[in-house]
Structure 1
Amino acid sequence: MTDEDHGATRLGRRALLGGAGSLLLAGACSPRGMATIEPVPGPPLDPSRAPSRIVFGSCLDQGLPQPIWQAIAAARPELLLMIGDNVYADAEDEATLREAYAALGRSEGFRQVRAQTPLLATWDDHDYGRDDAGSEYPLRDVSQRVMLDFFGEPADSPRRRRPGVYRADVLGAAPRRVQIILLDCRYFRSELRRGPSRGRYQRSDDPADTMLGAAQWSWLEEQLKIPAELRVLATSVQLLSDDHDYESWGVLPLERDRLLTLIRSTGASGLIVISGDRHHAELSALEGSAAGYPIYDLTSSSLNRPTPHPHELNQHRVGEMVDVANFGVIEVDWERGVVALRIHDERGAARLEHKVALASLTAPRA
């Protein structure tokens, strides 16, 4: 994560209560003495409609003011993606996890946006439950159940029956299909090796280290084979920016290479990456990638607790870093075949914009 995360205020700790339940249990029933969490009402996802305006964000501290929801509502999103650190729980017990989500559920701004907007979510570390945690986090199954309860995941959803919160949906019909892929970069990820500086990690070339785990990798390969004109792949940590040594795919470079190679081998055109985590926003681009076409990684963070990193290098950065509270927008002009990638501040002003031709996001035929 970031220096800001390492200094985050922790919520109160409680003793772990027994009978936490399994992934198969759904619902918002509150164990005795714990906060009740219920899904915030809102429209369901409509598979027949391809969204032309997708809003996404990350790193929302439920204990701080959240004025940015007004700007998000004004942007009139057709789909909202919450891609990690959706709350700051940092929990060693279920009660603390539930308290964090219950607090978000009481946010009037969030409730108003959710009432008008379909919503999909994945997690990063602080809503998963521990700073920078991966597969070693002991409450990962409890955390998965609590998260799915809060976001109203149906009882028969695959995410209720399998480890991890990854998900994919294809929305709309040809020639305007949008595929949304939400990765889980926590549940299966190998424990990282600390570097000499706090919050920094050593890069690992160990082929045994994984970001997604075998099952999720197999699933992703099948998803990328599904036809779609535009694909939005959400990874809670940055894919391309790797001049820093905080968490990113760059810490596991073999895994990043695997992802880029998989995009090409499956023939998955039209793919845009979105990420969060870093408490600032930026656009990164990799020309001549193993994917066979340019890869763009639009990072949006944080919704309400930004941390300036004015001197941080990023050899892949396009334009300027945005170090105020922000959200990301992906807007498609289907008639012109153009995708606009934007970062907006909490007043709704566009701080960064870059347009990409959909036709350019295709690997040349062999």
Structure 2
Amino acid sequence: MGAAPKTELIAPTRRAFLRGGLATSALLATGQWGFPSAWAQPAEPGVLYAGPMQGYLAARSAVVWLQTPGAAEVALEYAPEDRPDDKKRTAVRRTDASGQFCAHLVMDDLAPGTRYRTVALVNGKAAADRAIVVRTQPIWLFRGPPPDVTVLTGSCAYVNDPAFDRPGKPYGGGYDIYGPMTQERADLMVWLGDNLYYREVDCQSPQGMALRYRQQRGFAPLDAFLRSAPQVAIWDDHDYGPNDSDASFEFKNASLDLFKTYWANPTYGVGNVAGVFTKTSIADADIFLLDDRWWRSADATSPGERGKVMFGPAQMRWLKNALLHSRARFKIVAAGGQLFNDDDAYEGWNQFPLERADFMGWLQQYRIPGLVFLSGDRHISELIRYPRPIYGGKRDYPLCEFTCSPLNSGPAKGDGDPNRVAGTLVTERNYGVLKLSGEGKNRTLALMTKSVDGKVLWSHTLGLADLGWD
């Protein structure tokens, strides 16, 4: 779609709210995360600004995120689709300027494997035109085979904002991609970072960063997709801070607060170890979501310096323990940047060789089966097959990394990645699909890249034997 004006891509109920607001520098001086007092007036009953969006979804509970155009009392009303009169309501929450007019609402006491029609209530009136279906996870372990599931993934979602974009050709486009993604009716979407792009002026203050989040969530094609399936996310540099940002970013705490406000992950970090890393599970897959920015050393640090880290010791201890604890057939590890591309042209874990070597040595020691890796960032998609050495008289299975990018930012041409699987380089806007299907020894994980209009560009299927299961 190219450089269509943003107001043409925003739902009519939100156009007036946004028109002129995002381009007014005076909004940054309010001292309240960028929202002037006029925006804190009560929202019109039954009107949402964005959402509802499903976040973390379990068998007996679900977290749903939403955002109102002003101060409001909000709740969810829900009932099983086959028993519409059996209605329940969540606790009432109040949205206000200090919380970005966002709310996380918890649906509990749910039945596993059940579809719930869910409607948001805003100041006592239903936003009926934005009803969603919440599908709880089924109970299958110790009872039968795991269900077949579809997981979507992608990264680098740039929405044009001419008042703050760099001069020249618009960088964002391909917004039609959210139509096919919505039609997938996926069981989960995993966002791989650069889920929005802070502009240079945004990163000068937490207020500017907050305004960027609100602009992104008010984008109608994206909003429609976010309502279609559960969503979990990690970040990379552009939705954490400036380009190639690291642990030194002065507003990192504000950035983390915003991430927690706008996404509804299971957790954010663990114990006293901060960040956005967490774990979620679906069917017979555990998905380990890593944070490659919060603890990151500067890229300019010498590669051989022992303290140079991309994830940091505490996060790596968590990952190793979590992998050892996991009994899932498929252990999917997701990071914002590439892990096993050994071309030195761009950011990647190869620039942190000691930390990566430590992890690879640990993998050789413990022979973890079922590993598959996801990454974004690169503005290309590709499948990487990373060979491993013979250990204990047996060659470990090669590690597969599925890089998926970009959704809406400008595509790149790719580099000389020596580990790329032939025929998998994609240099156009795209999204990724992971399909878990089959039973017993015939269980497979299919990886595929799809175009803006939903056509399969390539597909690669991994069986259990490909992932180290004897």
TM-score under structure 2 length normalisation: 0.64
Query: Is the CA contact 1:51–1:78 (under 8 Å) kept in the aligned structure 2?
Result: no
CA distance in 1, matches of 2:207, 2:282: 36
Moved more, 118-127 or 61-70: 61-70
The one of 308, 324, 338 aligned to 2:444? 338
1:253 is aligned to 353
Count of aligned pairs between the two proteins: 333
CA deviation digits over 1:33-72, x for unaligned, max 9?
Answer: x965566986487485766211100000132442111111
CA distance in 2, matches of 1:209, 1:18: 36
1:60 is aligned to 157
Query: Is the CA contact 2:157–2:195 (under 8 Å) kept in the aligned structure 1?
Result: yes
Query: Is the CA contact 1:282–1:299 (under 8 Å) kept in the aligned structure 2?
Result: yes
- Where do residues 164-313 of structure 1 align in structure 2 (5 Å cutoff)? 164-172=275-283, 177-193=284-300, 204-225=303-324, 226-288=326-388, 292-309=396-413, 312-313=415-416
CA deviation digits over 1:282-334, x for unaligned, max 9?
Answer: 11111225893210111111001232315x21110112311110111111223
Call closer, same or farther: CA 1:112–1:39 in 2, change over 3 Å. Answer: farther
Deviation for aligned residue 1:169: 2.1
User: Is 1:123 matched with 2:235?
Assistant: yes
CA distance in 2, matches of 1:348, 1:257: 38
Deviation for aligned residue 1:28: 6.3
1:23 is aligned to none
What secondary structure does 2:204 align onto? coil
Query: Is the CA contact 2:193–2:235 (under 8 Å) kept in the aligned structure 1?
Result: yes
What secondary structure does 2:227 align onto? helix
1:83 is aligned to 192
Query: Is the CA contact 2:236–2:337 (under 8 Å) kept in the aligned structure 1?
Result: yes
Query: Is the CA contact 1:203–1:250 (under 8 Å) kept in the aligned structure 2?
Result: no
CA distance in 2, matches of 1:168, 1:75: 23
- Where do residues 35-74 of structure 1 align in structure 2 (5 Å cutoff)? 36-37=101-102, 43=134, 46=137, 48=139, 52-63=149-160, 64-65=172-173, 66-74=175-183
User: Is 1:93 matched with 2:205?
Assistant: yes
CA distance in 1, matches of 2:291, 2:148: 22
CA distance in 1, matches of 2:251, 2:159: 21
In structure 2, runs of 5+ residues without a counterpart are 1-22, 34-92, 106-119, 121-131, 141-146, 161-171
Deviation for aligned residue 1:86: 0.3
Aligned-pair Cα RMSD in Å: 3.1
Call closer, same or farther: CA 1:219–1:268 in 2, change over 3 Å. Answer: same
Call closer, same or farther: CA 1:44–1:180 in 2, change over 3 Å. Answer: farther
CA distance in 1, matches of 2:136, 2:219: 22
Moved more, 243-252 or 117-126: 243-252
1:4 is aligned to none
What secondary structure does 1:255 align onto? helix
Larger-gyration structure (1/2):
2
Query: Is the CA contact 1:52–1:333 (under 8 Å) kept in the aligned structure 2?
Result: yes
User: Is 1:350 matched with 2:456?
Assistant: yes
Percent of aligned positions with the same letter in both sequences?
25
Query: Is the CA contact 2:260–2:268 (under 8 Å) kept in the aligned structure 1?
Result: no
Call closer, same or farther: CA 1:241–1:72 in 2, change over 3 Å. Answer: same
